[in-house]
Structure 1
Amino acid sequence: MEIDCSKYRMKYDLHTHTTYSHGFIKPHGKGTMEENVRAAIAAGLDGIAISDHGPGHIFYGLKRQLLPEMHEEIKRLRRAYPQIDIYFSVEANLMESENNLDVSHEEIGDYDFILAGYHYGVFHGHCMANFMNNKKLSGKSVRDKLLELNTEMAVGAIRKNQIKVLTHPGDKGPFDIHEIAKACADTGTLMEISTWHSHLTVEEIKIAMKEDVGFIIDSDAHTPDRVGSFAGGLSRAAEAGLDLDRIVNVEEIR
């Protein structure tokens, strides 16, 4: 099903990165918080979340010691730009830990809400095995084991924490989308259709939409110019036959 994306608008974008997503040589995110906020206003959004990579990412994770500075900047921006809702979030990393995240239960309170997703570059996340599998350098038995381990990590994180959005489910490793969708439906966790990654794919959307789960389209912007990007995700959702009313942050322009 083809769709004219110009007849729709994104209401808010909950997945954007800034220079606080640090890199060893240069920042992973290229814009400041303020640049992302200003881009969101220019895109006509009602709200934006700053959601830098969780602290467990060895290459791009935010620095815990900078959290007070980040909080103060969010407060300043809320005063400076009252016309838009500004949220402080984090894209926590799925991993093998007590709560299957790199953000503890106590640290969750540092944020308005949390996002969570799977990434390479995290200790205890089966990263090398998933990378090798994605490069087709491992056999079926390894893939089957990774499917089990990855799904257990994701479902564990969903059920042990209050996660608002599961980001790009299915990316970077084998995951049982049906089991993950059931967990998201049970907990009210939104499943992201990313416009940066290819997940959820059309086929994954078809699997997930069989459960009573909500969907969200996010830009996963690492540069301000991508804040508010939603057309690619909307096109994928339409191709899958998803009822677009199930996407919580996109609406038809009346």
Structure 2
Amino acid sequence: MRLGATLARLGPGPPIAIGEWAKRLAGEGFESLWAAQVIGRGFLAPDPFVALATAATAVDNIEVGTATLQVPLHHPADLAHRILSLRAVCGDRLALGVSPGSTDLDYAAFDRDYRARFRVFSENLPRLRHLLELGRDDQADLAPPGQAGCPPLLLGSWGANVERAAREFDGWLASAYRRDPDQIIAAHQRYRAAGGRRAIVCAIPMSATDDLGPSAEVLQRYAEAGFDDAVVLIGPEGPDPARVRALLP
């Protein structure tokens, strides 16, 4: 199981210097760096496009990804343009985690209908895919064919969408921020049974205390369950990234 890390804190506190943080994580051997789209919750989580572009210019040869972009908050052409712009910086290192969203505060900030998020996600996704793959459609001409291309699409969602991730996407993102390991591993079994490919458990909180034993046990459970990647959430206050990286040889 590969080990990645998030680039920004998901709670109150001063912002992280993303370029330096990316260099430190890459130097300790983390294999991927991820940024979430979190808006309107009373703290600043940097825009994932800004965070990933910064990280991609700071470090070479490491995967960067969104975990996740809330598709219904954006017009599909605007979102496609932003993704293609990020891909121009990151190249083939970019993985694209997308979701309907899970927090009503984000929708309130954009004056969008939270209850309609699953419907809007399904309506907007086909056009987004088309624009990413071809760079244009009947309404928008965003990029010539040589500059277009759809990154691997990973679905971050639960319920019946676990099987949808297996059928229609390149992978599945399971958030450990609001689910416990038993729930995540049970959903992973459903994902694999439906033919799912890459499975990533993300935003795994790491304790800032000196005792990393419980964190090591959680990572081992995910590895034994067959996850391809684990993405940990480390705050600037600790624990030390080198110690976390050593938990998964």
**Greater RCO (CA < 8 Å, at least 6 residues apart):** 1
Query: Cα distance 1:221–1:86, how it changes in 2: closer, same or farther (>3 A)?
Result: farther
Alignment partner of 2:179: what SS? coil
Q: How many Å separate the matches in 2 of 1:157 and 1:221?
A: 31
Q: How many Å separate the matches in 2 of 1:202 and 1:52?
A: 22
Shift of 1:41: 3.7
Aligned residue number for residue 93 of structure 1: 70
Aligned residue number for residue 165 of structure 2: 184
What CA RMSD, in Å, does the superposition of the two structures yield over aligned residues?
Answer: 4.4
Shift of 1:235: 2.2
TM value normalised by structure 1:
0.53
Q: How many Å separate the matches in 1 of 2:163 and 2:45?
A: 29
In the alignment, is the contact (CA less than 8 A) between 2:154 and 2:170 conserved in 1? yes
Unaligned runs of 5+ in 1: 1-9, 127-145, 171-176
Q: State yes or no: 1:53 paired with 2:53.
A: no
Per-residue CA distance 1:86-140 (angstroms, 9 max, x = gap): 53646312436554x9x611111133332224232222252xxxxxxxxxxxxxx
Unaligned runs of 5+ in 2: 87-93, 130-149, 231-247
Q: How many Å separate the matches in 1 of 2:204 and 2:123?
A: 23
Q: Which amino acid aligns with 2:7?
A: H
Aligned residue number for residue 7 of structure 2: 17
Query: Cα distance 1:33–1:218, how it changes in 2: closer, same or farther (>3 A)?
Result: farther
Aligned residue number for residue 248 of structure 1: 228
Aligned residue number for residue 91 of structure 2: none
Aligned residue number for residue 122 of structure 1: 106
Alignment partner of 2:20: what SS? helix
Shift of 1:185: 2.6
Q: Which amino acid aligns with 2:229?
A: N
Q: How many Å separate the matches in 2 of 1:222 and 1:153?
A: 34
Per-residue CA distance 1:38-84 (angstroms, 9 max, x = gap): 23543x43x22242426xx23445359x93x8635531x22xxx5x6
Per-residue CA distance 1:4-45 (angstroms, 9 max, x = gap): xxxxxx4242x61326x7x8x745x65634224423543x43
Q: How many Å separate the matches in 1 of 2:64 and 2:154?
A: 14
Aligned residue number for residue 34 of structure 1: 20
Shift of 1:222: 9.1
Matches within 5 A, 1:198-209: 198=179, 201-209=184-192
Q: How many Å separate the matches in 2 of 1:107 and 1:222?
A: 31
Q: How many Å separate the matches in 2 of 1:115 and 1:50?
A: 9
Shift of 1:198: 0.9
Q: Which has the higher helix share?
A: 2
Q: State yes or no: 1:211 paired with 2:194.
A: yes
Q: State yes or no: 1:105 paired with 2:80.
A: yes
Aligned residue number for residue 119 of structure 2: 152
Q: How many residues align?
A: 188
Percent of pairs with identical residues: 8
In the alignment, is the contact (CA less than 8 A) between 1:184 and 1:190 conserved in 2? yes
Query: Cα distance 1:93–1:220, how it changes in 2: closer, same or farther (>3 A)?
Result: farther
Query: Cα distance 1:89–1:182, how it changes in 2: closer, same or farther (>3 A)?
Result: closer
In the alignment, is the contact (CA less than 8 A) between 1:96 and 1:125 conserved in 2? no
Per-residue CA distance 1:157-206 (angstroms, 9 max, x = gap): 66544563333x23xxxxxx23x234323333311233433166344334
In the alignment, is the contact (CA less than 8 A) between 1:17 and 1:51 conserved in 2? yes
